[in-house]
């Protein structure tokens, strides 16, 4: 396996079966080839995963051996991830001790997202749809215990129909084994690395979400906000520089502002991010409206009720809003450990719930009658705030009546609309998304999915919605969110992995991306307060 052979396959056959045809790409993590499976007569992609330092086996054979085992373990785990947005692994070629494995994968022929972006930026709706599917791939990998650690446009391949496929998980195994080589080069892509990883800490799944959000920023803006002339300068920028507000992100602006914060705990978790990306993805692909135009769908931040609209939508103000990132003090800009980060529990950990408020709503809600009469009543109401005990019960009753379902995988209540994940009858994991709006009733959304196996759906018959006003008042007092302009409630379903029960949380955030939440059990007793300045 000479270097010359790497660049000129010349009928080179791996494992007596895979004939290398052409070089597709390569880098510090290995070389990728287009190959022909001589047994099944199909084209595949094949990659030899190896460390960026070719001398690793010579000066540290134990580290090289551990790396080989990590790569094999990672590849085997990934091979069990059956998801349309995760590259399919067909085969692993292991030459034994002293070698690095070859990974045989499906060949994705539509080029990469990097190729697509070389033609110009995406509109926010297109980027949101790409992001939603890449996020689905990350969730599937995270549930299998795998963090990607190198989410970037070059590692998102596109099928001929445009569907993205996340690939190149090899760095997840390699990065821990050789964080820095002897020459000081960084394993990874500095401008897409989350700050906590640059500083030598592991932010977990939240770090992959930072990388995803940074990729979406680049997709819509056409440039990277933190890329500098050298690797060291880029790493320093990731650690300390504010991110310029995007000017072309439109409805994606709020997504980017909420995820691109340096405290991993302050970022929305994957489930919350999926919900807000889905909201953006549902928008029609149209130019950003001017203040005199009427949006064709609801904005990312909840719109005011029709008689109360006093400010433009997120899409209108996107290019004029100011971002403030949380910059922690540094003692110097070293490649690793420049910041001392406090590792806090993932803010997305659901100290979740078991039951809720549906049956009570049927008798007490003025909207518990027929859908037609409910809609007519709501249309004549001048003020409808769904983020109230009565509003929540009204929405739940309407949703249960319309769908005939009463088991929820998620419930998110904004003042003007409610989104839910309703479990498919007979399933503990499969759900469909529905949205309820005052005056419009219940509509089925285009999104369907599956809950993580450790999350359990709940019924909403016994939740203490009457405690919501108190929790909101406590949120205003304790979360320290200046000029909060967004408030919502999110259901916390039981999580068997953390033995956490049912509950719900109320959130406050502002246009600068600062947010916090108050978490309560199903009876409304506060169990956790996470302020914006935590």
User: Which positions are annotated as active-site residues?
Assistant: 150
What the block records as the tokens of 342 is 């406090």
Cα 48–Cα 51–Cα 54 angle in degrees, nearest 5: 100
Contacts with 175 (C-beta within 8 Å, 6 or more apart), sequence order:
149, 150, 187, 188
Other Cβ atoms less than 10 A from the Cβ of 235: the count is 24
Tokens 């995803």 found at: 212
**Angstrom distance (rounded) from CA 321 to CA 248:** 12
**Angstrom distance (rounded) from CA 268 to CA 136:** 15
Neighbouring-strand partners of residue 86: 166
Comparing C-alpha atoms, which of 506, 448, 416 is closest to residue 132?
A: 448
Q: Are 269 and 347 in contact (CB under 8 A)?
A: yes
Comparing C-alpha atoms, which of 89, 67, 69 is closest to residue 78?
A: 89
Other Cβ atoms less than 10 A from the Cβ of 184: the count is 9
Report the Cα 449 to chain-centroid distance in Å: 14
The sign of the torsion formed by the CA atoms of 468, 310, 297, 253 equals: negative
Contacts with 415 (C-beta within 8 Å, 6 or more apart), sequence order:
302, 304, 305, 385, 386, 387, 391, 487, 488
Radius of gyration of the chain (CA): 25
**Angstrom distance (rounded) from CA 344 to CA 495:** 18
3-state secondary structure of 130: helix
């Amino acid at each position: 396996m000479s270097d010359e052979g790497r660049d000129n396959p010349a009928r080179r056959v791996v494992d007596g079966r895979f004939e290398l045809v052409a070089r597709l790409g390569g880098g510090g993590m290995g070389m990728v080839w287009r190959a022909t499976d001589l047994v099944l007569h199909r084209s595949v992609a094949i990659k030899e995963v190896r460390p960026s330092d070719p001398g690793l086996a010579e000066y540290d054979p134990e580290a090289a051996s551990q790396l080989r085992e990590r790569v094999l373990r990672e590849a085997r785990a990934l091979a069990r991830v059956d998801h349309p947005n995760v590259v399919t692994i067909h085969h692993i070629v292991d030459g034994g001790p002293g070698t690095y494995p070859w990974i045989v994968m499906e060949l994705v022929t539509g080029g990469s997202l990097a190729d697509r972006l070389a033609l110009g930026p995406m509109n926010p709706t297109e980027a949101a749809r790409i992001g939603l599917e890449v996020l689905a791939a990350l969730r599937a990998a995270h549930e299998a215990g795998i963090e990607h650690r190198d989410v970037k446009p070059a590692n998102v391949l596109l099928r001929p129909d445009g569907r993205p496929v996340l690939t190149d998980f090899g760095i997840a195994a390699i990065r821990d084994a050789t964080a820095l080589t002897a020459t000081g080069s960084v394993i990874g892509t500095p401008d897409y690395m989350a700050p906590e990883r640059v500083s030598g800490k592991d932010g977990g799944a939240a770090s992959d979400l930072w990388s995803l959000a940074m990729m979406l920023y680049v997709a819509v803006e056409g440039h990277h906000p933190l890329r500098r002339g050298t690797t060291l300068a880029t790493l320093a920028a990731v650690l300390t520089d504010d991110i310029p507000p995007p000017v072309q992100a439109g409805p994606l602006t709020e997504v980017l502002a909420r995820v691109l914060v340096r405290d991993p705990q302050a970022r929305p978790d994957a489930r919350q991010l999926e919900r807000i990306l889905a909201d953006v993805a549902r928008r029609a692909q149209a130019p950003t409206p001017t203040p005199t135009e009427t949006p064709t769908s609801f904005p990312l931040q909840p719109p005011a009720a029709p008689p109360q609209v006093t400010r433009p939508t997120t899409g209108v103000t996107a290019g004029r809003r100011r971002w403030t990132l949380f910059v922690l003090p540094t003692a110097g800009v070293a490649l690793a450990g420049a910041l001392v980060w406090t590792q806090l529990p993932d803010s997305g950990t659901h100290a979740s719930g078991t039951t809720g408020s549906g049956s009570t709503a049927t008798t007490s809600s003025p909207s518990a009658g027929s859908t037609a009469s409910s809609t007519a009543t709501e249309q004549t109401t001048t003020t409808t705030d769904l983020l109230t005990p009565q509003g929540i019960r009204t929405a739940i009753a309407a949703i249960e009546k319309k769908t005939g379902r009463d088991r929820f995988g998620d419930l998110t209540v904004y003042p003007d609309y409610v989104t839910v994940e309703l479990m498919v009858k007979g399933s503990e994991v499969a759900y469909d998304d529905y949205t309820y709006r005052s005056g419009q009733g219940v509509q089925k959304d285009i999104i369907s999915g599956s809950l993580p196996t450790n999350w359990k759906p709940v019924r909403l018959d016994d939740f203490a919605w009457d405690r919501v006003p108190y929790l909101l008042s406590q949120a205003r007092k304790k979360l320290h969110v200046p000029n909060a302009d967004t408030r919502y409630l999110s259901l916390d379903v039981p999580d068997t992995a953390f033995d956490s029960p049912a509950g719900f949380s109320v959130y406050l955030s502002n246009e600068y991306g600062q947010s916090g939440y108050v978490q309560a059990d199903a009876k409304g007793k506060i169990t956790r307060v996470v302020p914006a300045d935590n």
